[in-house]
Amino acid sequence: MTRVQSTGGTSPGTAGSSRRGWPVFTAVAFAIAALIFGGLGGSFQGKLAEVQKNDNASYLPSSSESTIVANESAKFLEVETIPGVVVFHRDGGLTDADKDAIEQARISMASIEGVDTDGVTPTQFSSDDTTASVFVPLIAEENGTTVVGPDLVSVEQEVLDAARNAVATDLEVLPAGPGGLLAALIDAFEGLDSTLLVVALSVVILILLVVYRSPVLWFFPLFSALLALGVASMLVYLLADNEILTLTGQSQGIMFVLVIGAGTDYALLLISRYREELHFYENRFDAMIKAWRESAPAITASAATVILGLLCLSFSELNSNKSMGPVAAIGIACTYLVMMSFLPVALSAAGRWVFWPRKPKANHAEDSATDMVTHRLWSRIAEVVGRRDRPAWIGATALLAVLFAVGIGSLQTDGLTSTEFFTTKPDAVRGQELYDAKFDRGAGAPAVITANASSVDAVIEAASGVEGVNQSPGSVCVQVDEAKVRALLQGLGPGAPQQLPPGCPPAALNVDPIDGRTMINADLADSYDSPEALQTVQRLRDTLHALPGADALVGGTSAATLDVQIASVHDRNLIIPIVLVVIFVVLALLLRALLIPVILIATVVLSFAAALGVSGLFFTYVFNFPGADQSFPLYAFVFLVALGIDYNIFLMTRVREETQTHGTRAGVLRGLTVTGGVITSAGIVLAATFGVLGVLPLVFLAQIGFAVAFGVLLDTIVVRSVLVPALSHDIGKPIWWPSRLARARD
């Protein structure tokens, strides 16, 4: 039985003939491929942590000053290290037994494989004798081989275990420094895939049970999303393992959420149309063909918009941003392919029983009282929008403007220090705070300067005079040659001191110049990633760049943090306009018009601004976050605009379809009525999945999750339900300018 009555009209026999022409074998082949590769790819989800890079240095392009310095300074060092500190603390003061045990702990830590033994320093004690610290640098690269994140965490844990095993159980032992904080950051991403999947899938299953009111149907979109995630994980792992792209914990988490959220959205749209067509077709395959063809343009445009918007991140300076785009785009592309191949094949093969207990019948009517209630609800909303279109869109616009205005002043995007990255307070944060309170805060992570060897004295003198550089003797010195130091100390014989005295070492122990260049370390007076330290680095650069003939460059841990912040602002200012242009082009091609794309983009940008305002209020006064990362507005924009425009695409493609039969104003109201329920459900699902990012103990992901979740709900409830249809209804046919629909008679 072919469909007798449907929007746009379908003559008898059309569906049957189209089924014969439909690429059935192609669809089945894609479905089988998705099942095979999705199943195989599931094993790669747990391996993604092995190829993650979460340190600032790996984010930076080769052109940044700190990267150039890192490459130069590597020539002078036997191994490249990440500064790390172990802190020992007792409130009542350290006893003699504690100090003896700490010395044994220092010896044990120095012997651990993965620790730079020569870099382990003598124990320092605080002035109040309550705290001791040992500098224990971790090897980051040796003989050209970079140590991966999980291995760094493992070495850091071995260091802490050795320290705790050597001292009394009631003596507090904490990690600190860049090494400890990086290990804590990497550790925060451990189990990310399982945590996110379990929470996200639980939330989505609950929502789908409410939406479908079926104990069976929810399985199909969720299983399809898991297959898509498996394929995406396999591709991303292979690309990251071959260093074609940089995978971070943030990009992995966002890819997981995008696949689950966007996949469920696409499934909702397809299944909703499939169910609608089942009321008019006896043959379920004919119904799926019709549903697939009617849904494909909107889903394709939606996926293309998100993919192209994400790929705009490839213009970034930051490697983390540059690779975030491809990582997330791969996730969306895999999701689109699986949802448009495996899902329709699986649903149509399974039959109508998947909708049990509300199996749709070919009766040319809604199949339950609940569906009729939903239809009537959106019919009434559409009626109100049509009757009071101008007050509706003006009121919605005013609401969004007010939300932006009242909160945007509270949004601080000056960046976060390493101790502010976490929503919880891991041991590394407590250790760093204790170290900063008891010791010289700038020790262990100096600014690294490379300069012409002929200008060493001038560089040291100029750097020593910069505000924010430590003024203690030996704070600005040429890098020592560890091999020369070892040879000297070994030649002194038993009982001789095994460490150099304080201050700069003799010139004979310095590294030899290489290609006329040398390396100088400058200790800072402030904690390495504090705003004060970053300002000191900038002053150092301004001062040393001005030295004639020195060709001095400033790098190091603090400089890398500064360069990341500078690159983040550059990326934000460059990419946002590019994303807007790309989305405009996609909308213009899809809707074959120029005015309506401008309207849709303007409404989504206004919604994004309102979401920023509300985020500022919540971050400051509800969640008490210390601030936001410089890249937060960029990520929020890309995800909110690319995803928010989806719902306008779903709405306006249906409006355009209805307009061809019923005219523009009637088409707007009919489109809103028909798509209201499914788009609202899709928005709730996507908002819920992004909200799941809040379960991870990282401020940045929690902020992105909140902003996108709130923004998507704002788009779904205010923009797509009121602002866009009311404004389109008020303007009428001119929204389709310059297409023929703008001139067609209603």
Could you write out the three-class secondary structure of 101-166? HHHHHHHHHHCCCCECHHHCCCCEECCCCCEEEEECCEEEEECCEECCHHHHHHHHHHHHHHHHHH
- What per-residue confidence (pLDDT) applies to 209? 80
Q: What's the pLDDT tens digit per position in 540-553?
A: 999 999 999 999 99
- What per-residue confidence (pLDDT) applies to 15? 41
The packing angle between helices 342-350 and 249-278, to 10°, is 40
- What per-residue confidence (pLDDT) applies to 142? 75
- What per-residue confidence (pLDDT) applies to 368? 44
Q: What's the pLDDT tens digit per position in 376-392?
A: 788 888 899 889 999 99
- 218-224 mean pLDDT: 87
Q: Kind and range of the H or E element at 572?
A: helix 557-591
Per-residue pLDDT band for 297 (boundaries 50, 70, 90) equals: confident
Report the mean per-residue pLDDT for the chain.
84
What's the per-residue H, E or C state across 597-632?
HHHHHHHHHHHHHHHHHHHHHHHHHCCCCCCCCCCH
pLDDT at residue 319 greater than cutoff 70: yes
- What per-residue confidence (pLDDT) applies to 14? 41
Question: In 520-547, which positions are buried (b, 16+ CB within 10 angstroms) versus exposed (e)?
Answer: bbbbbbbbbbbeebbebbbbbbebbeeb
Longest dimension (CA), the chain: 102
Q: Which residues neighbour 441 within 8 Å (Cβ) at sequence distance 6 or greater?
A: 435, 524, 525, 526, 527, 530
Q: How far apart are CA 388 and CA 396, in angstroms?
A: 12
Closest alpha carbon to 54 in 624, 704, 700? 700
Q: What's the pLDDT tens digit per position in 226-269?
A: 899 989 999 998 988 887 887 877 788 788 888 888 888 888 88
- What per-residue confidence (pLDDT) applies to 21? 43
- What per-residue confidence (pLDDT) applies to 587? 86
Q: Are strands 172-176 and 85-89 parallel, antiparallel or unpaired?
A: antiparallel
- 272-296 mean pLDDT: 86
- Percent of the chain beyond pLDDT 70? 90
Question: In 694-726, which positions are buried (b, 16+ CB within 10 angstroms) versus exposed (e)?
Answer: bbbbbbbbbbbbbbbbbbbbbbbebbbbbbbbb
Residue written as tokens 């746009």? 8
- What per-residue confidence (pLDDT) applies to 12? 37
Residue 364 Rama label (left phi>0; alpha psi -120 to 50; beta): left
- What per-residue confidence (pLDDT) applies to 449? 95
Half-sphere exposure of 191 (CA within 13 A, CB side): 8
Q: Kind and range of the H or E element at 452?
A: strand 447-452
pLDDT at residue 18 greater than cutoff 50: no
- What per-residue confidence (pLDDT) applies to 677? 82
- What per-residue confidence (pLDDT) applies to 54? 64
Q: Which two tokens stand for residue 377?
A: 């609800």
Closest alpha carbon to 258 in 704, 607, 674? 704
Q: When comparing pLDDT for 252 and 104, which is higher?
A: 104
Q: What's the pLDDT tens digit per position in 48-62?
A: 777 777 655 567 787
Q: Which residues neighbour 387 within 8 Å (Cβ) at sequence distance 6 or greater?
A: none
- Percent of the chain beyond pLDDT 90? 29
Half-sphere exposure of 170 (CA within 13 A, CB side): 7
- 414-422 mean pLDDT: 83
**Is the distance from CB of 331 to CB of 259 less than 8 angstroms?**
yes
pLDDT at residue 471 greater than cutoff 80: yes
- What per-residue confidence (pLDDT) applies to 370? 42
Q: How far apart are CA 413 and CA 461, in angstroms?
A: 35
Closest alpha carbon to 650 in 299, 275, 336? 299
Task: Kindly write down the DSSP assignment for every residue of 346-406, as one continuous string.
Answer: HHHHH-GGGGTTS---SSSS-SSHHHHHHHHHHHHHHHHHHHTHHHHHHHHHHHHHHHHHH
Per-residue pLDDT band for 722 (boundaries 50, 70, 90) equals: very high
Q: How far apart are CA 424 and CA 422, in angstroms?
A: 5
- What per-residue confidence (pLDDT) applies to 498? 56
What pTM was computed for the model?
0.81
Per-residue pLDDT band for 645 (boundaries 50, 70, 90) equals: confident
Q: When comparing pLDDT for 153 and 333, which is higher?
A: 333
Give me the architecture of the 81-187 domain, per CATH. Answer: 2-Layer Sandwich (3.30)
Task: Count other C-beta atoms under 10 Å from residue 206's C-beta.
Answer: 12
Domain locations in the chain as residue ranges: 14-54+191-338+353-366+389-417+563-742, 81-187, 436-562
Per-residue pLDDT band for 280 (boundaries 50, 70, 90) equals: confident
- What per-residue confidence (pLDDT) applies to 7? 39
Q: Which amino acid is at 88?
A: F
Q: What's the pLDDT tens digit per position in 334-363?
A: 999 999 889 998 888 888 888 887 777 776
- 570-595 mean pLDDT: 88
Closest alpha carbon to 108 in 70, 144, 149, 159? 159
Three-state SS for 557?
Answer: helix
Q: When comparing pLDDT for 397 and 281, which is higher?
A: 397
Residue 233 Rama label (left phi>0; alpha psi -120 to 50; beta): alpha
Q: When comparing pLDDT for 558 and 19, which is higher?
A: 558
- What per-residue confidence (pLDDT) applies to 189? 67
pLDDT at residue 413 greater than cutoff 50: yes
- 626-645 mean pLDDT: 85
pLDDT at residue 20 greater than cutoff 50: no
Q: What's the pLDDT tens digit per position in 452-462?
A: 999 999 999 99
Question: Nearest-5° angle of CA 80, CA 86, CA 92?
Answer: 165
